[in-house]
A and B are shown apart, each in its own frame.
Chain A
């Protein structure tokens, strides 16, 4: 990857797209835009960007559909999910479909640019809220699971991963986490990536069931 990351913006609000484009300025190169699932798939397949900034909520099927369609053909394209609402089941769904990170629309411009760079470099980006969701999901399935899990390695977080997630949920940056836990930023990144892998690969139905239950409360 050379220079600034090439980015496609997918969001059904034109105003939001132009806002992000203006704010990010020269920190990224916006190579395409789309406002719905089908156009998004076409644009992404033709320009093959480094990162797709993807709204979780799209009229024609949600961000999840875009990730699934593109990933099957171009697995090298990376997705950073973006939403305003934080409904956990949507977020978990788009992450499990293959997005490498999730941030809220309230994120500051510099943090967004940083998140895009991280995702382009192959790291995972968790917002504080997503970290909370993941802790919740794995905790809920750990003690309410009458069914034995098929793969304990995938179905549980290590205590270190939990600590990292807790600090992300408290709004800490990777640098602050590294300092607090006496580890390197690289190690923090690898913990987050490992959590992302577990989130995507864990086969337990508890994850989805948990998300559904969350909706009710």
Chain B
């Protein structure tokens, strides 16, 4: 009886060899949007013009493709525009509205949840009273400075600067409540300010650079301000050049680093994703087989059979690039479901009733869906104790769904720790990494139902 109590937790599988990956792989893999995640400089749609149909889903900030907060990338993904078009429109809007666009962007950053999350930063920030106090305090100080400056000096660009009071307050809230990933972005953004205010690591070259830059900027500004009669045309031009040179000298190294960091960050994200994929794959195949071998240790014939099967599978994946869940190249989705059915039946001796409605070509997303469905069926075969597993797959015009159901003993989802592998990484992670969803409902004694849904990619199947 004790075992029965423990079993529900084991249903999700409690080996965690890749613990450092965290429950759903490294932070940041959530933002990945399947085929749209790896955009070139202009996306698949070419520069600015071409518009493909939007996702139609809810508006989400796209953290995988962000420059600052991912708002522009999110809007682009949502409405189907090129992300650079949206960025240019945003910048133009900020300039035209005299700086009012900036706090609006920050508001968007606060209010739109990131991809794969269901809460916005604002909703998290509501419970952060210290952060709210800090934001209000900063805004007051900044506003006071502006007010004093406006009193003492006529023509101070306060029309541009006032909206930024809200920007400062918003950024403070974001900084306190955003994910570590986004905090890193913010830190990078404020870095030059802190460098100007007081160099953290004062070394000779940066001191010389800062001094020189300061001289150039002040010289240029003075040259611009001086109203000398002679050379009236040449002076402003020379002054402007001096200011620009000063700014480049001041901020140049930071710009270079910013660009390099962006590239590095993106590479790291891709690597983390690959790693999570490999971890899921090994969990599905090798670790599952090892678990089975342990359970069947008293049956040498079965152990040999399992080991052979696993060896074949691993070789196919390592040397031919064919993954265990994947179908053969020329197989369609319905064929893939059949293979999953046969595979689970052969390996676990558990009858699988599969019904497929409709069919379509396989792509990367649908292979992930099949692998997730296979994992759900394997879990059911191993832990549910049901006499039959039913798999229902349906291809609809805009999405493909698979429902894996058993009438076994079920488990209580609330007692399974979130960081267990099994269902969490292999099924849920696999689906969300590619923009799909996974839903598990189960109750003790009533069996388990895993519902997987994957949107179909916008490009028609069969196109290279």
A156: min CB distance to chain B, Å: 15
Interface 0/1 of B397-409, CB less than 8 Å to A: 1000001010100
Q: Tally of A-B residue pairs with Cβ under 8 A?
A: 43
Q: Are B358 and A139 in contact (CB under 8 A)?
A: yes
Main secondary structure on A side of the interface with B: helix
- Contact of B390 with A by CB under 8 A: yes
Interface 0/1 of B226-270, CB less than 8 Å to A: 000000000000000000000000000000000000000000000
Contact flag A131-B355 (CB < 8 Å), given A169-B392, A170-B405, A171-B388: yes
- For the complex, what is the distance from the CA of A207 to the CA of B276, rounded to whole Å? 45
A163: min CB distance to chain B, Å: 12
- Contact of A4 with B by CB under 8 A: no
- Contact of B357 with A by CB under 8 A: yes
Q: Are B392 and A170 in contact (CB under 8 A)?
A: yes
- Contact of B353 with A by CB under 8 A: yes
Q: How many residues of B contact A (CB 8 A)?
A: 18
B395: min CB distance to chain A, Å: 8
Interface 0/1 of A125-147, CB less than 8 Å to B: 00011011001100110010000
A209: min CB distance to chain B, Å: 16
7 A–B contacts, CB within 8 A, in A order: A132-B357, A132-B392, A139-B396, A140-B358, A170-B403, A170-B405, A172-B405
Q: How large is the interface on A (under 10, 10 to 19, 20 to 34, 35 or more residues)?
A: 10 to 19
Contact flag A139-B357 (CB < 8 Å), given A170-B403, A170-B405, A217-B334: yes
What residues on B are CB-neighbors of A170 within 8 Å?
355, 390, 392, 403, 405, 449
What residues on A are CB-neighbors of B388 within 8 Å?
171
What residues on B are CB-neighbors of A140 within 8 Å?
358
Q: Are B359 and A217 in contact (CB under 8 A)?
A: yes
A78: min CB distance to chain B, Å: 25
What residues on B are CB-neighbors of A198 within 8 Å?
none
Q: Are A135 and B357 in contact (CB under 8 A)?
A: yes
Chain B residues numbered 362-377 whose CB sits less than 8 Å from any CB in chain A: none
- Contact of B356 with A by CB under 8 A: yes
Additional 15 contacts, C-beta under 8 A, given A132-B355, A169-B392, A171-B392: A128-B353, A128-B392, A129-B353, A132-B356, A132-B357, A135-B394, A136-B357, A139-B358, A139-B396, A143-B397, A169-B355, A170-B392, A171-B405, A217-B332, A217-B359
Interface 0/1 of B123-153, CB less than 8 Å to A: 0000000000000000000000000000000
What residues on A are CB-neighbors of B355 within 8 Å?
128-129, 131-132, 169-170
- Contact of A197 with B by CB under 8 A: no
Q: Are B390 and A171 in contact (CB under 8 A)?
A: yes
- Contact of A118 with B by CB under 8 A: no
